[in-house]
Structure 1
Amino acid sequence: MRASDRAYATLLDEIQSGILPPGTVLAETEQASRLGVSRTPLREALGRLAAAGLVVQQSPRVTVVSAIDADDIRELFELRRALEETAAQLAALRGSRTAFAAIATGLDDVRLDAAAGRDTYYALIARFDAAIDDAVANDYLTAALRTVRTHLVRVRRLARDNPDRLAASVAEHRLIATAIAAGDAELAAHATHIHLHNALSSILASLDENHTDQGAA
C-alpha cells in the first residue's frame, strides 16, 4: 500500500470513528510524524479527505476536521434520498432477484437482543449496499453513493443508540430488499423514501437530546 493510501485510510477511520472529532487540528508536521509518512503523501491524503468534505484547510499547513451539524445532515439526506431512491428503482429493474431475496431472508432472521445479532444486521446491510452497487451498474451513481456512505458513518456515530429505531430499520431494509427481489421498482423507491425519512428524524432527535444533556451538564 502506498504511503498516501495508508495515511488516508488511517485518517478516514479516525474521523469516522470519532477518534478525530470535528474541529481537530491536523497540523502537517505532527500528523506526518504520527503516521510515519513524509509530508508529500500526507498532503495527498489530506487532499482526498478535503475533496470528500471531511476536512477543511485553514491555512497552507493547517487542516481541521470539518464540523457537522443538523443542517449538514439534512443536506446529506437530501442527496441521499435522490441517490438511494433512484438506486432502489434501478436495482428492482436490473438486479439479481435471488441476491436480494437472500438478503431479505437474512434480515428476517436477525435478532437484535445480542451483540452478534447487531453484527449480523450490519453485515447484511453491507451486503445490501454491495448488491445495490452491482445491480445499478452505473459508475457515476455508485461513486456518489460511496461518498454519501462515507459521511453517514460520521453521522451515525453522532447519534445515540436507539434499539427501537434499529429494529424498525431492520424491517424497513427487509421491505426494500423484498420489493427489489419482486422487481417492484415503485415500491422499492417508496420504501427507501420512508426508511430515509425515519432515519433522518431519529438522528436529528438524537442530536437534540445530546445538546440538551450537554446544556444541563
Structure 2
Amino acid sequence: MTEDRQSDTQTAYAQIRSRILDGRLAPGRPVSPRNIADELMLGHMPVRSAIQRLVMEGLVEVIPRKGTYVTAPSNIDLREIFEMRLALESTAAYLAAVNGATDGLMAVADQLHRVVDGESTDPMAEQRIGWLFHQETLSAARNDRLYTSYRMLRAQSGLALSELHRVDATTVRRGTLEHLNIYASIRSKEPEAARRLMWNHIVDATDARIKWVRDQPSDDVLR
C-alpha cells in the first residue's frame, strides 16, 4: 500500500509539474487537489503530497483562506530570471562558437533557412523551431554545468522561460533572422559576436515576454 501511494504521488507530481512548466497551468491559476485527483484518477492523499512537494520547489504556493495557486513571479522575480537567462544563454553562444556547431544546431539552422526561403509561413511552427535553436545552442556549449543551471532555472520559473507565442508574423520573422545571425557567428567561430548577438536578441524579447506572462488568465481547473 505504501509503495502504491508513493508511486501515485510521483505520478501526480510529474503530471502537475509538467503542466506548470509547459504553460497549461499558468502563473496565478488555482490548483484544485480534488479536480486533479479526479482527472488523474488518483487518490486525494497522493495528490496533496505531490502538491506539497511542488510548494517546497516554489512552483506552487498556498495562500491562507484562499487556496493553492501556481506561483506567480513578481516583476523582480521576472527581471532576475531574464538576467540569469542573459548570462547563461549569451555564455552558451560564446562557448558554442569556441567549440563549433553541433549536428543538432546545424539541423535546426537548416530548418530556419528553409523557413526563410519558403513562400508560405506558419508563425507558430516558425517559433517552435526558434525555441529549438535556443536549446541546441545550450547543448552546443558542451558544458554540463551550464546546461544543468539553465534546466534548474526553467524548473523554478516555469512559464517565464517557456515558449512565448506571438501572432505577429513580422516579429517572429525578425527573431528567426536574429537566430540565423547568431548561428552564422557560431559557425564561423566568432565567440564574441555570437555572445553579443544572443545578448541583444534576448534583451529585445524581455519586455514582451514579461507582459505576456502577466496577461495570462487564471482558470479554476487543471486542463
TM-score normalized by structure 2? 0.71
CA separation of 1:176 and 1:3: change in aligned 2, threshold 3 A: farther
**Could you tell me how far apart the structure 1 residues matched to 2:183 and 2:159 are?**
21
Cα displacement (A) at 1:142: 1.1
- Is 1:142 aligned to residue 142 of structure 2? no
- Pick the aligned partner of 1:183 from 186, 189, 193: 189
- Asked if residue 8 in structure 1 is aligned to residue 13 in structure 2, the reply is yes
Tell me which of 169, 177, 185 is aligned to 1:171: 177
On the 8 A contact 1:4/1:41 being kept in 2, the answer is yes
Aligned residue number for residue 63 of structure 1 = 68
Matched, 1:162 2:168: yes
Tell me what 1:23 maps to: 28
Secondary structure of the corresponding residue to residue 67 of structure 1: coil
The Cα of 1:191 is off from its aligned counterpart by 0.6
Q: How does 1:38-53 map to 2 (within 5 A)?
A: 38=43, 41-43=46-48, 45-47=50-52, 49-50=54-55, 52-53=57-58
Q: Partner of 2:125 in structure 1?
A: 119
- Two-structure CA RMSD over aligned residues (Å): 3.5
Of structures 1 and 2, the one with the larger relative CO (CA 8 A, separation 6+) is 2
Residue of structure 1 in register with 2:221 after alignment? none
- Give the deviation of 1:70 after TM superposition: 3.8
Tell me if the contact between 2:9 and 2:50 (Cα under 8 Å) persists in the aligned partners: yes
Is residue 61–residue 70 contact of structure 2 (8 Å, CA) maintained in 1? yes
Q: Match of 1:134, as an amino acid?
A: S
Q: Could you say which residue in structure 1 is the equivalent of 2:112? A: 107
Shift of the 189–18 alpha-carbon distance from structure 1 to 2, 3 Å rule, reads closer
Q: Which residue of the other structure, out of 31, 55, 59, is the alignment partner of 1:54?
A: 59
Q: Which residue of 2 aligns with 1:37?
A: 42
**Take 1:105 and 1:57, find their aligned partners in 2: how far apart are those partners?**
46
Contact 1:17 1:154 in 2 (8 A): no
Q: What's 1:200 paired with?
A: 206
Segments of 5+ residues of structure 2 without an aligned counterpart are: 1-6, 217-223
Give the match for residue 76 of structure 1: 81
- CA separation in 2, counterparts of 1:119 and 1:189? 26
Aligned identity (percent) is 28
Deviation string 1:151-194 (CA, Å, 9 cap, x unpaired) is 46456677763322211111111111221111111011101111
Aligned to 2:200, the other structure's residue is in SS state helix
Alpha-carbon spacing, 1:70–1:58, altered in 2? closer, same or farther (3 Å): closer
Q: 1:205 to 1:47 in 2, by over 3 A?
A: closer
**Residue 92 (structure 2) aligns with:** 87
Q: Give 1:135's aligned amino acid.
A: A
- SS of residue matched to 2:178: helix
SS for the counterpart of 2:115 is coil
CA shift, 1:104, in A, is 2.6
Partner-residue secondary structure (3-state), 1:110? helix
